[in-house]
Amino acid sequence: MAERMLKFTVTPRSTPPKRDADVRKADFHEIYADFIDQKASEQASRCSQCGVPYCQTHCPLHNNIPDWLRMTAEGRLQEAYALSQATSSMPEVCGRICPQDRLCEGNCVIEQSGHGTVTIGAVERYINDKAWEEGWVQPLVAGPDRGRSVGIVGAGPAGLTAAERLREMGYAVTVYDRHDRPGGLLTYGIPGFKLEKPVVERRTRRLADGGVEFKLGFEVGRDATLAELRERHDAVLVATGVYKARDLTVPGGGSDGVVAALDYLIASNREDMGDEQPNYRHGPLYAAGKNVVVVGGGDTAMDCVRTAIRQGAAAVTCLYRRDRANMPGSAREVAHAEEEGVVFEWLAAPRAVTGEALHAAGLRAARMRLGPPDASGRQAPEEVEGADFELKADLIIKALGFDPEDLPTAFAAPDLAVSRWGTLKADFRSMMTSIPGVFAAGDIVRGASLVVWAIRDGRDAAAAVDRYLQAHASADALLAAE
């Protein structure tokens, strides 16, 4: 082993080639090319095979990273793939869009020792893309029929992961989603330059081919109540994500030209997937020729600024009230945005949307500074008096985060308990909500989070639903025997 591994002192870190900013700005394709085989093996060989691998501890799926890195270094790619997919339903998705700098790679000991982290995400993407190319990804095979059905509300990563696991266990699975395609935010939120859509489609097609039934264009609350769904299925899993956009509560915040981030991204993703959208390119959700200001500092804001650049905006500015070190989005995404020409106004908060007759023409902003840490330990931003400034802005995109929708009302289920933030309350171990037989997973429980956590929750929820249904099957059998 030692011969092939521990090469971090002689082999510098390198990522797959990144397309030049001027070239990649012209399309919505992913910005990284694939690793060539030899490069993947060389980069994997930099791993020092830690006895206590912090990379693995900090991966929400506890992926067996050191082992699949060693197999990749040794050219045993099919085995590396088998190991990687054993703990994740979408490893090639995580390899592309996990904020690795905050998770596995950010905790790699080689990074800590100043040699540059092992490129874990890029290797994960490589081995799993290779598996798809080589036909190693097997069709989904349903387990022996259990004679029970599970309804899943939401076809995002949490719902899809649970669907896959439950189908493998032999349950009949129906996934309901109000969109016309499955994938949740993988399809409609995250742009193609981070995650090309065919990567998601091949995963959802595998589920449909394996017998998972998708009922699309079906909104729970409009097309059925939760109680009706509960009648139809032996268990229900709610994995609806969080979608209520936080508002821009400043004077003029309701002007024409002020739009919600997800409306903006969904329209752009639809165009990328070839959907007809009459007048889209001349409408309020298209950035060509406009001065765009995106308010916010998370992943959504980064996706909006980079989308606006690709649509041909005249100028794109990101306004964030804290500084670079304190922004919630991935540092890697900020670097990509800067390379593509986005200007960042750190320590700045919107004060008013300016313009005539409620048509946005500009944004007046207050300069901020970071005050003393509050009870949570985070420094709160404070205004600097007399330092306001104005930006030209005829398209202002609100990317201030998301809250849960009011599910008890929408689902006509007043007994569905929610936290004070509106997220669904689910028991930590059983993952069951306050309604027996109704489970919850993903962002609707955690609040806006990450794809990798949704996958983790989907796996845990499938196991919890199975435990619940098995216990009921045993109880039914006992009753029948009496």
Task: CB nearer to ligand SF4: give 66 or 159.
Answer: 66
Least Cα distance to 310 among 17, 21, 2 occurs for: 21
Q: Does 450 bind ligand FAD (CB under 6 A)?
A: yes
Judged by phi (left if over 0) then psi (alpha if -120 to 50, else beta), residue 422 lies in: left
- Given 25, 178, 367, 392, the residue binding ligand FAD (CB under 6 A): 178
First to last CA, the chain: 60
For 430, the token pair is: 């059983």
Contacts of residue 169, Cβ cutoff 8 Å, sequence gap at least 6: 143, 146, 462, 466
For 345, the token pair is: 């106004």
Which one of ligand FAD, ligand SF4, none is in contact with 442 (Cβ closer than 5 to 8 A by kind)? ligand FAD
Contacts of residue 227, Cβ cutoff 8 Å, sequence gap at least 6: 412, 413
Site string for ligand FAD, 88-117 (x = CB under 6 A): ---------xx-------------------
Contacts of residue 183, Cβ cutoff 8 Å, sequence gap at least 6: 155, 156, 160, 200, 201, 204
Which one of ligand SF4, ligand FAD, none is in contact with 108 (Cβ closer than 5 to 8 A by kind)? ligand SF4
Strands (E), 332-401: 343-345, 348-356, 359-373, 379-383, 389-392, 395-398
- Stretch in the footprint of ligand FAD (CB under 6 A) among 2-10, 103-111, 155-163, 246-254: 155-163
**121 by DSSP, 3-state: which?**
helix
DSSP conformational letter for 160: H
- Counting residues that bind ligand SF4 (by CB under 6 A) gives 26
Q: Does 313 bind ligand SF4 (CB under 6 A)?
A: no
Which one of ligand FAD, ligand SF4, none is in contact with 300 (Cβ closer than 5 to 8 A by kind)? ligand FAD
- Stretch in the footprint of ligand SF4 (CB under 6 A) among 114-122, 269-277, 441-449, 470-478: 114-122
Q: Does 396 bind ligand FAD (CB under 6 A)?
A: no
- Given 31, 104, 185, 396, the residue binding ligand SF4 (CB under 6 A): 104
Distance CA 81, CA 95 (A): 13
Task: CB nearer to ligand SF4: give 121 or 298.
Answer: 121
CB atoms within 10 A of CB 392: 16
Site string for ligand SF4, 45-84 (x = CB under 6 A): --xxxx--xxx---x-x-x-xx------------------
Task: CB nearer to ligand FAD: give 77 or 302.
Answer: 302
Distance CA 213, CA 226 (A): 18
Which one of ligand FAD, ligand SF4, none is in contact with 433 (Cβ closer than 5 to 8 A by kind)? none
**Residue tagged 């499955």 (tokens):** 182
Q: Provide, rounded to whole angstroms, the least separation between the CB of residue 31 and ligand SF4.
A: 17
Residue 264 sits at the vertex; the CA angle it makes with 174 and 255, to the nearest 5 degrees, is: 130
Task: CB nearer to ligand FAD: give 191 or 355.
Answer: 191
Give the footprint of ligand FAD on this chain (CB under 6 A).
97-98, 153-159, 176-179, 184-185, 189-190, 194, 219-221, 239-241, 265, 299-300, 303, 442-443, 449-452, 454
Give the footprint of ligand SF4 on this chain (CB under 6 A).
47-50, 53-55, 59, 61, 63, 65-66, 94-95, 98, 100, 103-104, 108-110, 118, 120-121, 124, 452
